[in-house]
């Protein structure tokens, strides 16, 4: 009986770790889809992946809501040519995930070519069985 209890406890602990890894992977996959939607300026995908009360903070110091963020991307005002993410971490607590990564991008801002290197913090929340971006803040990487 004691052996059965020990085995059950071990299985419970390991299965919890595996499910946590699955959740973290699901969030990382969502971040990748978001990256792709930024580059393609896919309005449908951006709408689907962002919360209605999105707070999207830029490294230049301004913060946008969902409508303004999506409008600037889909109008071409902000046009990502390429985005590379690295050094990503995902931490999940309940229905909230905190993602940090390094972002390097080539883009045009109001028609002017630009390159950025940023540290990004994203907060995702599971809403109706889908991970939605509720907040994002970026800061410039200081050499």
Using DSSP bridges, classify how beta strands 50-57 and 130-140 pair: parallel, antiparallel or unpaired.
parallel
The reported pLDDT for the residue numbered 19 is 87
Query: Tens digits of per-residue pLDDT, 81-112?
Result: 999 999 999 999 999 999 999 999 999 988 89
Alpha-carbon gap, residue 108 to 35, rounded angstroms: 16
User: What are the residue boundaries of the structural domains of the chain, listed by start?
Assistant: 2-140
Q: What phi and psi, each to the nearest 5 degrees, are found at residue 129?
A: 70, 10
CA-atom Rg of the chain in angstroms: 18
What pTM does this model have? 0.85
* Cβ pair 20, 92 in contact under 8 A: yes
Query: Which fold would CATH assign to domain 2-140?
Result: Nuclear Transport Factor 2; Chain: A, (3.10.450)
The predicted-structure confidence for 36-84, as pLDDT tens digits, reads as follows 999 999 999 999 999 999 999 999 999 999 999 999 999 989 999 999 9
Dist. CA 70–CA 50, nearest whole Å:
10
- pLDDT per residue over 36-45, tens digit each? 999 999 999 9
Alpha-carbon distance 108 to 135, whole Å? Answer: 23
């Amino acid at each position: 009986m004691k052996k059965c209890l020990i085995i059950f406890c071990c299985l419970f602990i390991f299965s919890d770790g595996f499910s946590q890894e699955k959740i973290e992977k699901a969030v990382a996959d969502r971040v990748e889809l978001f990256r792709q939607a930024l580059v393609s300026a896919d309005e449908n995908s951006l709408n689907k992946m962002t919360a209605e009360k999105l707070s999207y903070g830029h490294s230049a110091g301004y913060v946008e809501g969902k409508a303004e963020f999506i409008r600037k991307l889909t109008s071409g005002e902000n046009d990502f040519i390429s985005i590379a993410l690295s050094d990503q971490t995902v931490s999940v607590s309940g229905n909230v995930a905190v993602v940090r990564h390094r972002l390097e991008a080539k883009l045009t801002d109001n028609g002017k070519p630009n390159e950025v290197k940023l540290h990004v913090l994203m907060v995702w929340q599971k809403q109706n069985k889908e991970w939605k971006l509720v907040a994002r803040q970026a800061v410039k990487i200081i050499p």
